[in-house]
Amino acid sequence: MSIDFDLLGPRDLGLIRAGMTRDESRSALESPFDEFLKSPYSAVPTDAYDDLGLHVYFDDALMVVGVEFLKWAQFTWRGQRLAGEEVLVVQQFLTGQGEFLVFNNSGFNVERLGLRFYAPDIGEEDAIVEAVHVDFTGVD
């Protein structure tokens, strides 16, 4: 099964949006999932939808605070695939859209959209975006 996700705007992925509860997100995705703790310090389990290639994160009130798309997920913005695409293709697209990229040692962020790109091989030819985290908390 595959669901296409498109970043419609900050905090809005269509099926999943800021302000949704855990139960609402599970109902909207209609797909098998597993709960897991992302780290030993996690207080709230994350929902992993392996078939869809995404993880949904929740706060203590069980409200959606973010979604992470893995490289096999169907995640786009303005028609451009983001997760699983070559890093240079994504970077050129984003800068062409007027976005400002903030680089770190494992990828880059687009703060205006709440996007964090995980690309551990950044700088190497044909490096791939391994994951994209969409943060619902710090974006207007």
pLDDT at 35: 96
Please give the Cα distance from 137 to 126 (Å, whole number).
32
As to burial, measured by CB atoms within 10 angstroms (0-12 exposed, 13-18 middle, 19+ buried), residue 74 is middle
Mean pLDDT for 29-40 is 93
pLDDT per residue over 103-120, tens digit each?
999 999 999 999 999 999
Whether residue 134 has pLDDT greater than 90: yes
